[in-house]
Amino acid sequence: MLRRTFVAAAMTAALLAAGVAQAQTYRAEYRLSTTLGPAFAWGQAGERWIELVREKTQGRINIKLYSGNSLVGGEQTREFTAIRQGVIDMSIGSTINWSPQIKELNLFSLPFLMPDYKAMDALTQGEVGKDLFTILDKRGDVVPLAWGENGFREMSNSKRAITSPADMKGMKFRVVGSPLYNETFTALGANPTQMSWADAQPALASGAVDGQENPLSVFVAAKLTNVGQKHLTLWHYVADPLIFVVNRQVWNSWTPADREAVRQAALQAGRENVDKARKGIAGSDNAVLKQIEASGVTVTHLTPEQREAFVKATRPVYDKWAKTIGADLVKKAEAAIAKR
């Protein structure tokens, strides 16, 4: 009897010691990277994830937000590599920014693949979304947890209303650092210039570039009317889903219960982020568009025929990049969209 008591006490002590050792692996603070800050739905998603994680782990996991890709000197396309290297612990990242390292994420940047929000949901919330998470997971260094959203990217400029590719000829557009965007705008007759978002606004203000492409929520929050963006074309040419991830070493340092808490926090923050990103934009809710028009911006709604001219002009780019992304994945995406 005495021996059993001693063994039980020893086991309890060992478990407590293991718990203390495990607790010691937790850092005082973890680094969460986003491109846009709390003035935008993207940065707000970061703040919400932080809040939910702290709540669900009873304060065991504390996170600080680093927006503007400040942990990589503002270089958006370096973020994914920095997560893999452990420079960044967690991120809500753009599929666009990570596509140079994960070629399959270029799927969302195929010009005119997704005509509406139902099409985007068919991909992120269906088998294609699961396949992309599997691809990320197999890279070994990151753990993907949830989808969020920056939104469909629309085109604005300071020169004129754009209703056809011919209207874009020779115009300078700021685009993100992805070859696919360069090729898409070149196919439309424009002169694309790759630069970070931090450099984009001064370039627009000075006239170094004529236009840009971003979701409407970003157009409003960044006050792009103040930097000469007086013409807006709604064309839904690509979308920008976001992905909540954690560096795998950081993930493995947490208890299974805390990992699940972080996952559930990401899923909840992701759902809330999608709702916020679409508020005033999707469906019959056009409050954001009315706000933009009220600021003196000329808004051009493309007719189906006008949109088709852009689709045709960029089709060679689509076909070329479909091979790079993976023909089977693209076909699966096209089938999912057709069934939406």
Q: Which residues of 90-112 are buried (b: 16+ CB within 10 A; e: fewer)?
A: bbbbbbbbbbbebebbbbbbbbb
Residue 284's pLDDT band (boundaries 50, 70, 90)? confident
pTM: 0.90
- Single out the residue of 238, 234, 133, 115 nearest to residue 180, CA to CA: 238
DSSP run (H or E) holding 80? helix 79-85
SS3 125: coil
The Cα angle at residue 224 between residues 36 and 292, in degrees rounded to 5 = 110
Q: Which residues make Cβ contacts (< 8 Å) with residue 311, sequence separation at least 6? A: 111, 112
166: amino acid identity, one letter: A
Query: Which whole number is the average pLDDT over 233-249?
Result: 97
Residue with tokens 């209703």: 163
- For residue 141, pLDDT over 70 is answered with yes
Query: Which whole number is the average pLDDT over 186-203?
Result: 94
**Per-residue pLDDT, 209:** 97
Integer Cα distance of 340 and 338 in angstroms? 6
Q: Is the dihedral of CA 275, 281, 287, 291 positive or negative?
A: positive
**Per-residue pLDDT, 198:** 85
Residue 220's pLDDT band (boundaries 50, 70, 90)? very high
Integer Cα distance of 205 and 335 in angstroms? 42
- For residue 1, pLDDT over 60 is answered with no
**Per-residue pLDDT, 177:** 82
Q: How far is CA 238 from CA 106, 150, 249, in A?
A: 10, 11, 33
- For residue 3, pLDDT over 50 is answered with no
Rounded to a whole number of angstroms, the distance between the first and last alpha carbons of the chain is 67
**Per-residue pLDDT, 144:** 98
Query: Which whole number is the average pLDDT over 309-335?
Result: 98
CATH topology of domain 28-338: D-Maltodextrin-Binding Protein; domain 2 (3.40.190)
Token pair of 205, please? 């203000």
Q: Is the dihedral of CA 51, 245, 95, 108 positive or negative?
A: negative
Query: Which whole number is the average pLDDT over 145-165?
Result: 97
Q: Which residues make Cβ contacts (< 8 Å) with residue 285, sequence separation at least 6? A: 278, 279
Length of the chain: 340
Residues 8-32 pLDDT 10s: 444 444 444 344 434 448 999 999 9
SS3 323: helix
Token pair of 228, please? 């000469």
- Asked whether the beta carbons of 177 and 255 are under 8 A apart, the reply is no
**Per-residue pLDDT, 304:** 95
CA 13 from centre of chain:
46
Count of C-beta atoms within a 10 Å radius of residue 237: 23
174: amino acid identity, one letter: R
Residue with tokens 């753990």: 143
Beta bridge partners of 191: 172
Strand blocks (E) in 34-186 = 63-66, 90-94, 142-157, 172-175
DSSP run (H or E) holding 214? strand 211-214
What integer best gives the mean pLDDT of the chain?
Answer: 92
